[in-house]
Chains A and B, each alone.
Chain A
Amino acid sequence: MIKLIGLVPLFPLIGFLINGFFGKKMSKSLSGGIACVSVLASFVVAVLAFLELQHSANKSHVIELFSWINSDTLKIPFSLLFDPLSSIFLLIITGIGFLIHIYSTGYMHDDDGFSRFFTYLNLFVFFMLLLVLGNNYLVMFVGWEGVGLCSYLLIGFWFKNTAFNNAARKAFVMNRIGDLGFLMGIILIFVTYGSISYGEVFAKAGTGGTAVVTSIALLLFIGAIGKSAQIPLYTWLPDAMAGPTPVSALIHAATMVTAGIYMVVRSNVFYSISEVASETVAVVGIATALFAATIGLLQNDIKKILAYSTVSQLGLMFLGLGVGAYSSSVFHVTTHAFFKALLFLGAGSVIHAMGGEQDVRKMGGLKGKIKITYITMLLGTIAISGIPPFSGFFSKDEILAHVYEHNKILWFLGMVTSMLTAFYMFRMLFLTFFGNFRGTHEQEHHLHESPKSMTVPLMVLAGLSVVGGLIGLPEFWGQHNWIGEYLSPIILRPDPSILSHETEWTLMGLAVLAAGVVIYFAHAMFITNDVLPENNEEKLKPWQKLIANKYYVDELYNAVVTKPLDIISSFFHKFMDLQVVDGIVNSTGKAVTGIGSVVRLLQTGNIGFYIVSMVLGVVLILLFTFII
């Protein structure tokens, strides 16, 4: 099956083409069916290939498709790479992708753009698979920009809404800022090593010199910042919630935003060499994690809460990457994909039940009405909050343990982040499902559990969120940390834990204790005391106002980047171009005309005058000749 790994991206591509060309003429069930089957087929191939890889001695398989760009020494083939890292991502993408496709057939059922939705979704899966399967940076870049395009199309899926369109455009442009960094990184890699294929580059990575490697690592990281929504390019992700909820689950939680993690893990050789780059990654990661978590505390849109939580979790993963815990971060990517997809889909189910309402202040008391959604979301919330033995606990704990080894301050900040996470997640859960219903009568009457197509994926994902931690049980439990070993071939310096068992137990106990305290506190606040978020912004305390307005970062960017760009553009257009540059050109023309109009006067039309001037001229010439 590994030889046929090209089939994995091919199936969604075929699905995309069929839906793209004939989607409008097909029935909804056929169109959705084709989309689901195409991803399922990919999943099956991915699983078979994954199993084959377990038994294969060779852990890195390259499949050449065709030669793409050739320019003298620069030879870029379009080739795929199947190794432990890409296999894990393949499983996540196709597996969760398939569940979300199923879910979407229910969620989007009444939408006019049903087949268009699946067209985009299949295209997204295709590009995402290309991203993780590429054997060189440029193929990764193809997927990288391709998923950006799909993200653009899907955020602006309801294209009649200007706000959604703006969000889509913002996402694309911010991603492109990162992409430019990525592109420059690729070019620097080519210039330094004469190739951009992973194998060749990593083999020679050390020869580049630390300064160059640092530049490469930082440039690549700029790309990761854009795609994975880190400071300072994170503001697009909360806005991206404008898209349909399955899209938020698939693209803006489970897969696309983790592309940055994938890229850094893939390039771990560079980051292992460059201390500076690793530290930058860690600092940006923890800053984002903390920053986004605080914003999450006071959001009232259920999807926005989850969005900031995603940003924060991604920051945590980058923190892990920054301290060299690559396999732990991939582990967290995996578990995060499970529970965050679950939470988003659950939120979608809630929104579906509430008839489009997304504000948690208008929900409440839903747990009896939509039981499956409630239970699955509860499981997801516990998983993300880090309660054992749910999946999130293991992956987060592993990252934090590694961080503790490297730097106690970062560890402390990480702990604070996970406490904040537990708090805002339970706040969301309590506000949504507990207490009294706060919506309109009409909504209350309309409340219903979602159809099977939506609840089954929820249940599957809930199961995975519960048991997903098994793939990476801590070694000091006397267990086999499967994922750490599995990934070790692609990581230059695997980072086994050197902490004593006592320390690890203490850290773990602390984390559980902290989470428990926070949950209790949230319970006291939102259930016992029944505190509701303030509706009137005027009454907020100043610090609350600051957080509720997301620290005014959007406003800041607007004032510092967008406005000046417009002003400069207008200046260039109205003044520089029309006045100065064109002015010079036109005044050259005018000068010629002006001189002409003066010289013209010599042509009086009087023959006498002409003759006199002619004779005078002759006389002057003669004088001139005789004198000199």
Chain B
Amino acid sequence: MLSALLIFLPLVASLMVFMIKGNAARNFALGAAVAEFVLAVFVYCQFKMGNHYQDLTMNNIWVKSLNIHFSIGIDGMSLLMVLLTTFLVPLIILSSFTTAYEKPNAFYGLILFMQMALVGVFTSNDGFLFYVFWELALIPIYFICLLWGGENRGKITFKFFVYTLLGSLFMLVGLIYLYSHTGYGSGLKSWAVQDLYNAGRSMNESQQSAVFWMIFVAFAIKMPVFPFHTWQPDTYVTSPTSGTMLLSGIMLKMGTFGLIKWLLPIVPLALTKWGGTAITLSVFGIVYASCIAIVQKDFKRLIAYSSIAHVGLISAGILSANQQGVQGALIQMMSHGVNVVGLFLIADILMRHTGTRDSDKLGGLRNMNGQFAVLFLIILLGAVALPLTNGFVGEFLLIGGVYQYDAWMAGFAGLTVILGAVYMLRSYQNIMLGEKNVNVGAFGPLATSDKVVLITICAVVIAFGVYPKPLNDLAEPAVKMLLNNMK
């Protein structure tokens, strides 16, 4: 029941927000998002107390002829993702307070609708339901980018939409193929996640390979992993900041989460055969995207490429399919989500205060606002994975996980440690340090809402860097169970 509430609360709130006129919409949306976060924390407490089954799962028949169930449930992994989603959405809403969007009711309604779909993706235990939520999540973000985006948004959003939809259709085919293999014993076909696992494992290697690639492509496009990433930088740059945050902070995790829950346990044979190829792509993407980030002038585009690099490491860790790799991926998904939202907010603040994000046109901002410089630096350190920031724990486990797969691959992936420092510090220096650039006017104090969001994020960056145990406690047993399930 509780988990269903997690899905329906944002849905109802979203419908109500649509009907509210004017700026009251955003306050209401913020309230709803905070309420949702409180609910998620409550669910977390329930989960910690060992109440796993009565309230946290729900399984009703939905379409009888195809044996589709409305089946949702919470385990360690999905709880992490739900917490991330519900934590970020209020911050995303709050960070948009300084920008006056037209038709705020539609804007915030779509964000809440998106939240509903995201929570659905993370909690569904039924293949068909998963697909439905997966596609539902695409609709609001499409409109957010299309209606409130920047330059060239029509063309770019169209490309994004078609590209991801194409991937999703591959996945649909893969899922249907799996579905058709279910029910060997009983003859009753089923979409339940465990049945799909069994169906996948009953296949031979070539069948598994087909399923692997069909589903992997969908996730690879969503994350995105090299070479399926070219929609991403343009879309991130063009979208309104809130849209970018949703895309990079949460939606990207649909891909990585899908990889863990909906691909790893299904195709063990194909993983042995094709995992190396996929890891190579991911790891190459890390270096490739990091290099590209080095030459970016636009800070928002730089974060977009750095996000590809980070997600490449996450994907490589997952595909190495060992405890450290997958657990590190989960931890890193949490921290990347938080950090990237902070970085995009910083890009937005730069744009609002100075009218540009081009590092050549900026410089010396630290002279005018020391507080902003410190907050920026802390989040940046999280992004370059300095120990005692949240980015480090995940990155260490990830590199360790990849190392167990292949030592050289890990060394190559580890270049992110160096290249990340190169591009992040270079842009920080160009933007914040040095003498004040003549093109920059005044850089006043931060708006309260921005300050609240940045400080919250900084607190999380340090808190979970020093004491990541709560996250690990959720991730560790869940991953262990998943990997045992694979054997």
Contacts and interface: CB of A to CB of B under 8 A. Distances in A.
A and B touch in the complex (CB under 8 A): yes
Interface of A: 66-74, 138, 141-142, 144-146, 149, 152, 156, 159-162, 165-166, 169, 172-173, 176-177, 179-180, 183-184, 187-188, 190-191, 565-566, 568-570, 572-573, 576-577, 581-582, 584-586, 589
6 contacts: A68-B467, A71-B472, A138-B387, A160-B367, A183-B414, A184-B414
Contacts of A584: 227
Contacts of A73: 323
Interface string B416-433: 011001100110010011
Contact of B404 (A191, A573, A585): A191
A287 B364 CA distance: 41
A172 B425 contact: yes
B410 A187 contact: yes
Interface stretch (B176-184, B210-218, B391-399): B391-399
Contacts of A149: 381, 386
A589 B411 contact: no
A184 B434 contact: no
B230 interface: yes
A144 B388 CA distance: 11
Contacts of A159: 366, 432-434
Given A162-B433, A169-B426, A566-B295, 18 more contacts: A70-B472, A72-B324, A138-B387, A145-B386, A146-B386, A156-B433, A160-B367, A173-B418, A176-B417, A176-B421, A180-B418, A183-B399, A187-B403, A191-B400, A569-B295, A577-B288, A582-B230, A585-B231
A9 to B, nearest CB: 12
Contacts, number: 139
Interface in B448-484: 467-469, 472-473, 476, 480
B230 A146 contact: no
A112 to B, nearest CB: 11
Contact of B417 (A68, A169, A180): A180
B381 to A, nearest CB: 7
User: Which of B327, B425, B473 has its CB near the most chain A CB atoms (within 10 A)?
Assistant: B425
Contacts of B397: 69, 71, 74
A569 B291 contact: yes
A572 B468 contact: no
A145 B324 CA distance: 22
A573 B292 contact: yes
B interface secondary structure, majority: helix
A161 B366 CA distance: 12
Nearest 4 CB-CB pairings of A with B: A582-B230, A142-B387, A72-B323, A569-B291
B162 interface: yes
Nearest to B402: A187
A581 B292 CA distance: 13
B434 A165 contact: yes
Given A70-B476, A184-B411, A577 B295 contact: no
B42 to A, nearest CB: 25
Contacts of B102: none
A572 B324 CA distance: 31
A377 B429 CA distance: 36
A173 B422 contact: yes
A108 B473 CA distance: 46
A159 B377 CA distance: 13
B47 interface: no
A190 B386 contact: no
A407 to B, nearest CB: 32
Nearest to B435: A160
B414 A565 contact: no
User: Which of B387, B415, B417 has its CB near the most chain A CB atoms (within 10 A)?
Assistant: B387
Contacts of B393: 69
A190 B411 CA distance: 15
Nearest to B400: A187
B483 to A, nearest CB: 9
B425 to A, nearest CB: 5
A169 B171 CA distance: 44
Nearest to A166: B429
Contacts of A183: 396, 399, 414, 417
B469 A184 contact: no
Contact of A146 (B387, B417, B425, B426): B387
B165 to A, nearest CB: 13
B353 interface: no
Nearest to B322: A72
B192 to A, nearest CB: 28
Contacts of B432: 159
Contact of B476 (A72, A138, A570): A72
B154 to A, nearest CB: 14
A141 B411 contact: no
A173 B396 contact: no
Contacts of A165: 429, 433-434
Contacts of A67: 469
Contact of A184 (B292, B327, B364, B403): B403
A156 B433 CA distance: 9
Given A142-B387, A187-B399, A573 B422 contact: no
Contacts of A162: 433-435
B361 interface: no
Contacts of B473: 70
Nearest to B465: A142
B404 to A, nearest CB: 6
Nearest to A67: B469
B294 interface: yes
A152 B381 CA distance: 12
Contacts of A177: 418
Contact of A160 (B291, B295, B364, B410): B364
Interface in B309-330: 323-324, 327-328
Contacts of B480: 72
A145 B387 contact: yes
A69 B468 contact: yes
Contacts of A572: 288, 291-292
A572 B308 CA distance: 14
Contact of B469 (A68, A156, A179, A569): A68
Nearest to A175: B421
Nearest to B234: A582
A179 B292 contact: no
B159 interface: yes
Contacts of A573: 291-292, 295-296
Contacts of B142: none
B163 interface: yes
Given A69-B468, A160-B364, A589 B159 contact: yes
Contacts of A145: 386-387
User: Which of A146, A160, A183, A570 has its CB near the most chain B CB atoms (within 10 A)?
Assistant: A183
B477 to A, nearest CB: 10
A31 to B, nearest CB: 15
User: Which of A69, A156, A172 has its CB near the most chain B CB atoms (within 10 A)?
Assistant: A69
Interface in B188-244: 226-227, 229-231
A603 B90 CA distance: 51
B396 A138 contact: yes
Interface string B325-343: 0011000000000000000
A156 B432 CA distance: 12
Contacts of B227: 581, 584
Interface string B137-168: 00000000000000000000001001100000
A141 B400 CA distance: 15
Nearest to B429: A165
A585 B164 CA distance: 12
